[in-house]
Structure 1
Amino acid sequence: MTDLQPSKRTFIDLSHRIYDGLITYKGLPAPIMCDYLSREESKKIYGDGYQVQIGKIEMVSNTGTYIDTPFHFAADGDDLAQVSLELLADLPTVVIDAKDSIEIGLHFFENADVAGKAVLINTNWSKHWNSEQYFENHAYLTEEAAQWLLNNGVKLVGIDSHNIDDTRGQKRPVHSLLLANEVLICEHLTNLDKVPTSGARFYAVPPKITGVGTFPVRAFVQIN
């Protein structure tokens, strides 16, 4: 029998680090992270032979790099526990170069093959992460472009910006359109400049939680 040799694979992390006090979306509370059981306190249970730590986290589900499922915008939409893994993992990927642009319109997607793929929009806005500028006049996708992506069979849309919609008003047409058609959204990505235009596989899998529509993910791509 021939020995199977491990394939050479490269992984690129597309997620921001989550930590105590992080502000992801202005107006939403920062996560609170602490010990539920500290290593020192664990000695009372296990003696001096073992020291364990059990953490406690209090946070809103829109924290860090996260996935949006249909339940986020519709009470009868699929939540984190209902969304198929086929929509979250091993997705062929196309990266759209929209660096340093604010309004990401239809012309950015001309001739792009998006059918069945995760479309990751590289706006370079992640360079402003964890700053006041990140929240203001950020890069966003237009409704027209979102409709084109939907018409052409996109499976997931990710963006390295504060929001996939223009947040200067109350309407969120891109969220409404994509999520209503079971196209998932991944926001607050980073490192998209390191991902090739095509050929990578995208993963962004959240915990299997009932009754919640958004949650942080360890988003990444795999390149064989």
Structure 2
Amino acid sequence: MAAMALFSWSWKGEKKASDWKASERALFPTLSCLTTKEIVQIWDQASLDVQWQLAAGKRVRIVGLGTFAVLMQELHVGRSDCLLVCRPVFQLSSTARKILNLTYAKRIIPDSAPVVPLDYTTIALETSKLLDTVMNCLNETVMYLSHCIASELNIDFVFRDMGILSVKHMEVQMRFYEKFLLSLDTTGNIKEVLGNVSLTVLA
């Protein structure tokens, strides 16, 4: 699944440093110096890092945004049958939810697995960017998202090969791609569940 431009909700094509207002350049100094293509490249690699960490049984926290994890869950299929599945979940940052007054289905991620941050060093190596540039790009993007949400803009934020985090009318939903769900399911039951249970899934 090809990544879409992360900032397609606010502009189309490349946004150059000269396109930013002075106040925006002060708030987002790194973003204003990067092209849209470079920002997408960094976030694409961050998405790959999340996938690697999840496959290794870890929970991954993106500061200011939320935490990804893989959980074993029993889901009801039909009236009486239950199937055990292994599926990814996203837990929105409680701070972001409260400050921005967002509505989101609460996910409880247990403390059984370690929580790790994004591997900024690997992302920097894979994108041939300075470590500070990568860290600032990721952090400023989350800040920019908050700025857009506070302005009541609708957002579709793409995580490469994982899914789309949508914010529409202050309601948040993380929809995972079916291929990503299947790649993490160790039970072999997710395909049957997808045909019978309503999950937030993108084909």
Query: Does TM, normalized by the shorter one, top 0.5?
Result: no
Measured against the shorter chain, the TM-score band is under 0.3
TM-score under structure 2 length normalisation: 0.24
Instruction: Kindly indicate which of the two structures has a greater share of residues assigned to helix.
Output: 2
Q: Which has the larger radius of gyration?
A: 1
The structure showing larger relative contact order (alpha-carbon pairs under 8 Å, at least 6 residues apart) is 1
